[in-house]
Amino acid sequence: MPIYEYECTKCGEITEVWQKFSDPPITRCEKCSGKVRKLISQSTFHLKGTGWYVTDYGSKATRNNNNKKGHKDSANKNKKKSKASKD
């Protein structure tokens, strides 16, 4: 069930209410009986598990970048060794 926030236009009290989609919206403040309005809040929706871009594709790109960096570092070490042996 989603949590809805309502703000009283009279006293400013903010109330959180667990409601089903089929429940009617609250119209009066429990504290002062003033009118309330529904607030739009930031969602806490979070995708978990496999099958999402972040878990399946995002991590592979990071691993590939790390592998490329490691490969470049080893290539630079080999170049330095070959220059030292020439001198």
pLDDT in tens, 1-36: 788 899 999 999 999 999 998 999 999 999 999 999
Of residues 62 and 44, more confidence is placed in 44
Sign of CA dihedral 45, 51, 57, 62: positive
Average pLDDT of the residues in 31-51 = 83
Q: In what order do the strands lie in the sheet with 14-18?
A: 14-18, 3-8, 36-39
Strand ranges, E, within the chain? 3-8, 14-18, 36-39
Q: Does the model's pTM come out above 0.75?
A: no
Residue 80 has pLDDT above 90, yes or no: no
- Stated length of the chain: 87
Domain positions in the chain are 3-39, 46-87
Average pLDDT of the residues in 59-67 = 55
Report the chain's mean pLDDT, rounded to a whole number. 75
Average pLDDT of the residues in 27-53 = 83
Contact call for residues 45 and 36 (beta carbons, < 8 A): no
